[in-house]
Amino acid sequence: MFTGIVQSTGRIARCEPRGGDLRMIVAVAAGFGTAEVALGDSIAVSGCCLTAIMSDDDTLAFDISNETLSLTTLGGFRPGERVNLEPALRLSDRLGGHLVAGHVDGVGTIAAVESDARSQRWTIEAPPGLMRYFAPKGSVCVDGVSLTVNAVGGNRFGVNLIPHTVAATTFGERRVGDRVNLEVDLLARYVERLLVRPEAAA
């Protein structure tokens, strides 16, 4: 489990095709603490829960299955691009964002970015099947970042980004038209299952 509070960012050093799958090598920014990452640890990479297969002083390596590549934005990353990084939650950690599984529910598209004083209002277009999970003041995870939903309409929802979030994550390099990984709130997913399809929970 994760919290959606990005601890650091990294840059893709290289991507190595492995028979339909992909090995991704990520150069990690100072302060992430790769010395504490053990083989098999879970790391959220731009919202996707991946297993560390190698770590040293300043790099992490992950094997990414074809299934994950087809359902997330990871297959489109190229060397030099930044990714958000968060280690798995410890039981003693403070829950600063919301509970995040690192299981991407769908890929959205940045539809608009507008200034609002020092903050920015982002509008994201989501797959139609996910829109029922978004509610104003609810939570959403976008590229591994825990955010509060401000508005919902049609097949789009809006979030507000403060300057710190833009600077500390990959949002500072994202542009209109870019694709982002979306994970809906776990509570919304289970409430929908219980209320809309009660027979499935029996």
CATH number at residue 34: 2.40.30.20
Give pLDDT < 50 ranges for the chain: none
- Position 200 scores a pLDDT of 53
- Position 48 scores a pLDDT of 97
78 and 150 co-located in one domain: no
Q: Say how far apart CA 202 and CA 149 lie, in whole Å.
A: 31
Residue 169 in domain: yes
Residue 163 in domain: yes
Alpha-carbon 73 to chain mean position: 10
- Position 189 scores a pLDDT of 77
* C-alpha dihedral (59, 57, 141, 129), degrees to nearest 10: 30
Q: How many domains does the chain have?
A: 2
66 and 134 co-located in one domain: no
At position 48, the amino acid (one-letter code) is C
- Return the ∠ at Cα 123 (arms to 118 and 124), rounded to 5°: 135
At position 151, the amino acid (one-letter code) is A
- Position 198 scores a pLDDT of 55
- Position 191 scores a pLDDT of 80
Q: Please answer whether residues 162 and 150 qualify as being in contact, where contact means their C-beta atoms are separated by less than 8 angstroms.
A: no
Residue 37 in domain: yes
CB atoms within 10 A of CB 85: 24
Short-list 109, 116, 126, CA closest to 175: 109
Q: Please answer whether residues 34 and 57 qualify as being in contact, where contact means their C-beta atoms are separated by less than 8 angstroms.
A: yes
Rg of the Cα atoms in the chain: 17
- Position 187 scores a pLDDT of 81
Residues of the domain holding 185: 106-196
Residue 2 in domain: no
